[in-house]
Amino acid sequence: MKLEEAIDTKRLTETIEAAQKHLFDIQEDGGYWQGDFKSNPTIEAEHLMLTQFMGLKDEGEWKKVVNYLKRKQLEDGSWNIFPGGKGDLSTTIECYFAFKLAGESTEGEEMTKAREFIMDKGGIPEARIFTKIWLSLFGIWDWDRVPAMPPELIFFPDWFPINIYEFASWARGTIVPLLIVISKKPVHQLPADKKLPELFPEGWSWEDEDRTEKDYSTFSWSNLFQIADDALKYYNRLPWQPGREKAIKKCEEWIVARQEADGSWGGIQPPWVYSLLALYIQGYQLDHPVMQKGIEGLGSFSIEERDELKLQACVSPVWDTAWAVLALVESGLPSDHPELNLAGEWLLDMEIRSEGDWSVDLDEVEPGGWAFEFANENYPDTDDTSVVVIALDELSLHDKEKEKAEAIDRGLQWLLAMQSSNGGWGAFDVDNDQEILYEIPFADFGAIIDPPTVDVTAHILEMMGRLGFDMNDKPVKRGYEYIRDEQNEDGSWFGRWGVNYIYGTGCVLPGMEAIGEDMTKPYVRKAVDWIKNHQNGDGGWGETLESYSNPELAGEGESTPSQTAWSLISLIAAGEEDSMSVKRGVEYLLEQQTEDGTWEEENYTGTGFPGDFYIGYVLYRHYFPLIALGRYREAITEG
């Protein structure tokens, strides 16, 4: 096709119809959609460590996990945390240890190359805290050299500057069980041939670790917390610790109260495995109902393929279903389509009507939100809720219209209550923005707070705009001002939950259009220029995950279907449907569609914790391109 020519509308329609068919082909019997949730090999490695610690080793399962890990190992012997990324020290240590537990030969090529990589990076002493916690469970690292976290933290009131509810929901669900684990300092004894002396530098000693210089001459939060850590370690060595067992018991009760119907905790791997560890350490037998449900539930997050077994860190059916519904409706299917009706009723059934941790700060607010997973009653999130409300609002549910309207209203009211003081929205809590928590010695594992973000706020503004709100409404105005304040000098916006500046910008512009913004304003045009200037030669857009650590790489990377779609969606929202950039982007999606009606995407374009945990949402490559093509067709038809 010559770029000066219009897009072939017949080909466009055929591409859309093929994508619609593919979505219906993969719709589950219950009416929902669920794509695989890809993350990194620590999930599998820690599963082997967990089952070893609790005496649950299954030789057949372990062999398949090891096969999977072997396939994911890089040429230099390391493992990375996202496709195309460099080898990660802590991830490689955990995989190496998992191999050793599984009986792999240390003289084999896989372990030899992994060991060389680890030692080149400084060995175990340079690993992250969480890796050292796992190694301490097996007597390889010293518990006394793990940052102290007192279980008495569970008693700190929610008005106190540091309490468990100041941590993000995912960190809170991980930290509370670790309060038990770290205070108990359990060790699962291993035979000598399973330990890791070869991963310590030659001549290294614990005295070397203790001689690390600490400068307390100036005041800083970091120094204050380090002094507190030293004091706590001294206290932990005392023979009498008044209130300690009572605090541990309170942590135990907190954990048990938050187990979900599917056996998980928080619907994600870290709180789940650490909760099982904590309760096991507390003396819960494997046949105890809580333990049984937790262990059996892990199987529902597993995917077995031939001679391999991998574990998902999470599942995303609500998120996937809401976006799939939007993709189908916005690409031209009728709002009362039977399969969409089934999906809408499923979404209604997934509404959370009970109070969760969010209610600690909002105890008079009626529950009414949606979570990411099948079961996560304690942690509905604002992003899922906004997208589900948009999807439901697009559907005609026949005899369920009254229930739909009531659910939408509850979701709206809940979201209004969840708006933070700066006008933006976090994902799970209000004003969860205590930055000093990052100064705690324990906090080296990524995001531990949940402050407002532009991408979530933009989705909520888009929802409000579709429901009839505009700039005359105070919550909209406050959210709008927050987003304006967060725009980067180059015109882009940071993406917290998707990669990265392409995602952030791709969320903002449709949100602004929905609330009635004048899309010719200079700040909008600046964003449009940024998007156009980062289009690749093949017509698509892409951005590497490295842009989180190096902002100079913002908007740069090989083209992907999902990031191309986000760019197109934002340009179309800004009235650019007739531009050459949009035509080239649409042509890229038309050319890249596979014979079975979908798109291929190896690169991860989802974000869990910037810099530490990234996500490959398998369905991003499908429903976002379908939304983009659907909106493009509508725009040129109306034009």
**Euclidean distance between CA atoms 560 and 112, whole angstroms:** 35
Eight-class DSSP state of 124: G
**Euclidean distance between CA atoms 373 and 434, whole angstroms:** 27
Contact 455, 503 (CB under 8 A): yes
CB neighbours of residue 63 within 10 Å: 15
Please list the residues that pair with 265 across neighbouring strands: 259
The tokens of 9 are what? 């509308």
**Euclidean distance between CA atoms 188 and 78, whole angstroms:** 26
**Euclidean distance between CA atoms 466 and 513, whole angstroms:** 10
**Euclidean distance between CA atoms 620 and 500, whole angstroms:** 14
Query: Is 230 labeled as catalytic in the residue annotation?
Result: no
**Euclidean distance between CA atoms 539 and 542, whole angstroms:** 10
Helix segments in 522-560, DSSP class H: 522-533
- Tokens 């941790």 sit on residue: 357
**Euclidean distance between CA atoms 130 and 637, whole angstroms:** 54
The tokens of 333 are what? 């299917």
Q: Which stretch of DSSP H or E encloses residue 615?
A: strand 613-617
Q: Crossing angle, helix 9-25 and helix 620-638, to 10 degrees?
A: 140
37-38, strands of its sheet edge to edge: 37-38, 613-617, 606-609
383, 429, 450, 612: the active-site residue: 383
Nearest to 314 by CA among 621, 618, 8: 618
Burial (CB < 10 A; 0-12, 13-18, 19+), residue 91, is buried
The C-alpha angle 527, 528, 533, rounded to 5 degrees, equals: 100
Please list the residues that pair with 617 across neighbouring strands: 37
**Euclidean distance between CA atoms 116 and 68, whole angstroms:** 21
**Euclidean distance between CA atoms 605 and 436, whole angstroms:** 29
Please list the residues that pair with 609 across neighbouring strands: 613
**Is the Cα dihedral 380, 382, 387, 389 positive or negative?**
positive
The alpha carbon of 558 is separated from its chain's Cα centroid by a whole number of angstroms, namely 22
**Euclidean distance between CA atoms 199 and 131, whole angstroms:** 13
How is 318-375 classified by DSSP, letter by letter? Answer: HHHHHHHHHHHHHTT--TT-HHHHHHHHHHHHT-B-S--GGGGT-TTSPP-BB-SSSS
**74 Cβ neighbours under 8 A, 6+ residues apart:** 80, 87
Provide the CB-side half-sphere exposure for 76 (13 A, CA): 16
Q: Which long-range contacts (CB under 8 A, 24 or more apart) does 287-292 make?
A: 290/256, 290/259
Taking only Cα atoms into account, the Rg of the chain, rounded to an integer number of angstroms, comes to: 25
- Tokens 């940052």 sit on residue: 147
Residues identified as active-site: 383
